[in-house]
Structure 1
Amino acid sequence: MGAIAPLHIVVTGAAGYLGKAIVRAAEAHGHRVTPIVRSPGAGLVQDLARDGASANLIEQIKSADAIIHAASEMSGDWELHERSTLPATQTICYVANALNAHLVQISSIAIYDFAAIPIGGIVSEASPIEFHPAQRDGYVRAKLAQEVIVAAENPDASVLRIGAIYGPKRHMNAHLGIGLGPILLRLASRGQVPLAHVDMVAKIAVAAAQSKASGAVNVVDTDLPDRIRFISALSASGWPKLVIPLPWQALTAVGALLSFWKGRPGLLRKKVLHARMKPLAYDNALMRAQFGDTQMPAFEVLMKRAMQDD
């Protein structure tokens, strides 16, 4: 296969953890990159949620071949997403259409209905999508809403449903249990942790821009640890000092008793508990078929590097 001609790739959210990695990966492939940032810094400053943002952006990036849309609020506040994340996505969809640029939408593997998947089941692109988003947090609701917008406006877009991103300076995630100081209440032992190393995700995002692949793809590492293996690797950081196992199903009864409490923590909500703690496996066969083997090191190697860079 011949070399891929350099593209002009626009990356939104370029100041974020994933956005920075995507910029690095695109530049490493010889592409011309225009980073879009919301605050002054290294990139083109644009508030994508602002009225009139589309016309200004089209003028600024009119030679773009692809747009990787990684910008998103990370909060669980739904109202914030309504004001920011969703209008920004509508802006990018409009701009991508106007420029005939391929759109790569960064979504999340969290959009599936995990309560509908049996214990020990496999999460794939064929798994059911969450149909009751109001029972999840604002971030998941926003990712679902973004996918609806993209499907309507840019049906040929690449939609990457990313797992729990980890890498240098980021090695914890919400799939382990409850941290109480030096103690971890481990709510499950079986089941894979749906990890996605930041460098692997960046490579896949750039590959999607290059290939103009369409449709939704789950993006998770090939070597996924279970929770015991993850915690064993994490313990080299000095935390947790003590691991106390607690059956995750026990929180179902507690959550039911506290159902009157609208502000109860996420793990006391059935949908959230199943999404984070139910023992499941995660399939990335479609990702590998479309984009090839990313040839990442074993989980323990990547985790050790992540902790060394803290």
Structure 2
Amino acid sequence: MHDWIAAFTGLLPAWLAANLEWKQVVLIAMTPIFLLAFGAEWRVMAQRGRAQSFSLPDIMANLNLGLAYQVFELIAYTLVTASLVGWFWQHRLFDMPITVWTVPLLFVFMEFCYYWFHRASHRIRWFWAAHVVHHSEERMNMTTAMRQSLLYSVTGWWLFFMPMVLLGVPPEVVFVLYACDLTWQFFIHTESIGKLPAWMEYWLNTPSNHRVHHARNPEYIDRNYGGVLIIFDRWFGTYAEESAPVDYGIVRQVRSRNLLVLNFHEFIDMWRDAARPGPLWLRLQHLWRAPEWVRPGPSTDVAPASRAESQTR
């Protein structure tokens, strides 16, 4: 893997090669395949009489959010993230060999990092302020995977993968592996596929397992964080099997398709809550507490609308 990455990078100008965001390179290259897969999904669902699973305004909002996300990620990586990632690489402890034998193990390591990134994105409001965009869709189809936030680079998604870089995995390898993880996830945002064989449901994040993750049913909230693998959810007690029908969306649904509202509503509400009068230590906790956390004491009677917006998991 590292050899062909290096070969491709060698064809580029030095400045561009040094600032190439490999996650986005892979995702952009996969976009035509993503769109073809969505077309096939729509046809299958229409033939089953379930065309109501698709809403053109929602699909357009998803595609626009995905495009804005891809553009902003490239800009953020070029201007800021590449330098920060480069700092971790310069301070690595080892040089990890990249071979046909180590890549599968590194993928599992990356998946472990992704599990904790995804779990934090639900249980820490700072990260939820970006991730909430993805969960605000009330339908499930493959374009839902494109429903992403401009704020991911601002909130620092890449930090969760820096343990790999510090242990000597080249950043481009880390981000290509992460892109492969995200590619798999595109295809499991669907209702066109039921449950797969039991062994696949046990080990992998399947469409059934991921439908649970997108549910606002009380028994499903904050479950199934895995990307490609679901095994870490089983080990760490966050797994739930799809049993009851899934109700998609967030608890306090955002009734908007405006890109600015979708991207920034929770981020703004978080800072509004932190700005309310009270002890500084309690105010700052709005940034790292769970999204549903409310400040103890008399201040809980202030700005109920803002607090309600924070309970959007």
How does the TM-score come out when normalised to structure 2? Answer: 0.22
Higher helix share: 2
Higher strand share: 1
